Amino acid sequence: KLFEHLSDHFILFGEWCYAQHSVFYDRLPDWFLGFDVYDKRFGRFLSSKRRDALFREMCVAQVPVLALGHFAYPEVQKFLSTSKLSDQPAEGIYLRFSQDDWLAQRSKLVRPAFIQAVEQHWSRSAIRPNRLTLELQG
């Protein structure tokens, strides 16, 4: 399904989550989590609505949606306190604003303690597997 839908004009962006990078995730819906789709024909990223529809068609799990709406910076910072995929604080959050069929603006907010804790790239350490949610482990 993946290649049928992506064909030669979409690029799928996501994160392979099998190995722990910095935060240990024990509630992953899948080993790969999608977060964006780029349309090479138009040179733009899809809107959230179009991206989510394509993820459903391709059976791609996506990063958790924390909230929809407009938020002041102090409200956004609160989303960093706990990850939906772990009991640990979130590494960061990805903010996006869609307009019509396209992504208009985006930003990533990373927890300051996460930035300071990264001393070396995770791939230089022993691999510690994350865990899938119980529903998928069966």
More confident residue, 71 or 121: 71
Q: Is 134 domain-assigned?
A: no
Q: Is 125 domain-assigned?
A: no
Residue range 90-105, pLDDT digits in tens: 888 999 999 999 999 9
Query: Which residue, 29, 15, 19, is CA-closest to 129?
Result: 19
Across residues 45-69, what is the average pLDDT? 96
Q: Is 92 domain-assigned?
A: yes
Residue 18 three-state SS:
coil
Q: How far apart are CA 75 and CA 79, in angstroms?
A: 7
Model's pTM, two decimal places?
A: 0.85
* pLDDT in the model for residue 122: 57
8 A C-beta contact, residue 103 and residue 46:
yes
Q: How far apart are CA 52 and CA 61, in angstroms?
A: 10
* pLDDT in the model for residue 123: 63
Q: Is 46 domain-assigned?
A: yes
Instruction: Examine the pLDDT at 137 and tell me if it is beyond 50.
Output: no
- What range defines the domain where residue 45 resides? 2-118
Q: How far apart are CA 124 and CA 134, in angstroms?
A: 29
Q: How many domains does the chain have?
A: 1
Q: Is 126 domain-assigned?
A: no
Amino acid letter at 42? Answer: F
Q: Is 135 domain-assigned?
A: no
